[in-house]
Amino acid sequence: MADKNLGSELGSQAETAAEHSYDYEARFIKQKREQERINILPRVIKPAMFAKGEFVLGDMRVFSRYTVAPLSTLTCGFLDLQSGAASDPRRIIPSLIAYIIEGSGESIQDGARFRFAAGDTVIVPPYTIYQFVSDAAHGVRAWLPQVRLWHGQGLLWRDGINKGSPHPRPLPEGEGNQEKIAAIFQARREIHAPVTGKTRYDWFLSRLAEENRIEREAPRVIRAAECRWEMTRQGKLKFHLSRWSEAASTVLDLVAQEIGPGERSGEHRHIFEELMLVIKGRGYDLHEGTRHPWGEGDLICVPPMIIHQHVNDGMEAAQLVSVWPRQPGHELLGGIEQISNASDWRE
């Protein structure tokens, strides 16, 4: 009987080991296939190649990886409004940022109005009813980059909003349990006093009060005129959002870059993904020696761990806007490795 039990136990262990081995090999094969797709897919996505629908690099609601671009964490969309037009009111759980490519108007957030102009970055806090309204003189075009982490966290719920009402409110037929979600966010936002205490856990409890303060006090529009240009080893940069910003959205860093005619950025490498929009000009990227031409309106995709550099081969200054996921970028996957400095860098 003992031998029989021992044999049964050994057999069970062998099955478990085989299961783990199969799972490991399956994941290895999947990772290899994903890397092959990264290598095959284009690094520069032109407007004619954009996916249909709201998300031009792939719908974050279905998380179809590596179908349009060699990026898994980042996607984006665009907002286009004619003169005097307004977007439909909506509300989502994650925060939202919008870089204004051209035009001017207002961002309406829970009834409050915030002016914006070309080059500004609009911030919409989590679970906030928002609209964009263009001025009567001209339309608005905005770039809306987003991370695709919300799919795995189950935070893709959206309100159905009564867009015909002068005071938009959630509709009963909207997706999900609106009353429950509204109650959760209302309770969280009512916490104002930081927790006093000396334990490390008390710090975590105090963070919610601090985040609520930042949401109340921080600007909803980062004005380009108030951000200063810096000459850096990577080139001429202007940080709109960074880990040092007090902003109601801490998901992405957003940086503008200008490269003069015939100049090139620095050459660097980082483990996190990066997505860039070409606002103006033309040139090409060098990704570990491979050239990828780009022009106005294109999206430049930088996969993880790729040595890359941006080169302006046009007759005018090139303007790029770059985003990358903040927490994975700075705190989980290390910093930036500088390979060579920008052509116009001076010590």
Confirm whether 11 is domain-assigned: no
101 and 212 inside one domain? yes
What residues form DSSP beta bridges with 292?
285
User: Out of 20-24, 202-206, 207-211, which region has the weakest mean confidence (pLDDT)?
Assistant: 20-24
Cα–Cα distance between 299 and 55 in angstroms, integer?
13
Closest CA to 71 of 151, 147, 143: 147
Give the DSSP H/E element, type plus range, for residue 6: helix 2-40
What is the per-residue pLDDT for 173? 42
158 and 288 inside one domain? no
Evaluate whether 220 touches 243 at the Cβ level (below 8 Å): no
Print the domain residue range for 159: 47-217
204 and 238 inside one domain? no
Last residue of a domain, one of 217, 237, 263: 217
90 and 138 inside one domain? yes
65 and 193 inside one domain? yes
What is the per-residue pLDDT for 175? 45
134 and 164 inside one domain? yes
213 and 231 inside one domain? no
- What would the pLDDT profile of 254-286 be if each residue is shown by its tens digit? 999 999 999 999 999 998 999 999 999 999 999
Cα–Cα distance between 56 and 47 in angstroms, integer?
9
What is the per-residue pLDDT for 172? 46
DSSP summary character for residue 66: T
More confident of the two residues 69 and 335? 69
DSSP summary character for residue 50: P
Task: Pinpoint the alpha helices (H) of 218-345.
Answer: 326-327
CATH at 77: 2.60.120.10
Confirm whether 40 is domain-assigned: no
Helical pair 178-189 and 200-217, crossing angle rounded to 10 deg: 100
232 and 286 inside one domain? yes
Here the contacts of 290-296 (C-beta below 8 Å, separation 24 or greater) are 290/43, 292/42, 292/43, 292/44, 293/44, 294/44, 295/46
The pLDDT of 104-109, averaged and rounded, is 98
72 and 140 inside one domain? yes
What is the per-residue pLDDT for 112? 97
Give the DSSP letter string of 106-150.
EEEETTEEEEE-TT-EEEE-SS--EEEEE-TTS-EEEEEEEES-H
Confirm whether 20 is domain-assigned: no
245 and 178 inside one domain? no
More confident of the two residues 5 and 107? 107
What is the per-residue pLDDT for 72? 86
Give the DSSP H/E element, type plus range, for residue 35: helix 2-40
Last residue of a domain, one of 175, 197, 217: 217
Task: Indicate the number of domains in the chain.
Answer: 2
Local confidence band at 211 (pLDDT 50, 70, 90 cut-offs): very high
Local confidence band at 151 (pLDDT 50, 70, 90 cut-offs): low
What is the per-residue pLDDT for 243? 85
Confirm whether 258 is domain-assigned: yes
Q: Give Cα 197 distance to the centre of its chain.
A: 35
- Residue positions counted in the chain: 347
More confident of the two residues 246 and 328? 246
**Residue 6 in this model has a pLDDT that exceeds 60:** no
What is the per-residue pLDDT for 244? 87
Confirm whether 187 is domain-assigned: yes
**Residue 145 in this model has a pLDDT that exceeds 90:** yes
What is the per-residue pLDDT for 2? 52
Average pLDDT, the chain: 87
- Residue 206 has phi, psi (to 5 degrees) of -75, -20
What is the per-residue pLDDT for 323? 97
**Residue 326 in this model has a pLDDT that exceeds 90:** no
120 and 56 inside one domain? yes
Confirm whether 290 is domain-assigned: yes
Last residue of a domain, one of 158, 190, 217: 217
**Residue 342 in this model has a pLDDT that exceeds 80:** yes
Confirm whether 18 is domain-assigned: no
Q: Token match 């044999």: residue?
A: 7
Tokens of 149: 């982490």
User: Out of 8-22, 55-69, 79-93, 139-153, which region has the weakest mean confidence (pLDDT)?
Assistant: 8-22
Local confidence band at 14 (pLDDT 50, 70, 90 cut-offs): low
What is the per-residue pLDDT for 31? 78
Give the DSSP letter string of 155-219.
---B--B-TTSSS--B-TTSSS-HHHHHHHHHHHHT--SPPP-SSHHHHHHHHHHHHHHHHHHS-
Confirm whether 14 is domain-assigned: no
259 and 204 inside one domain? no
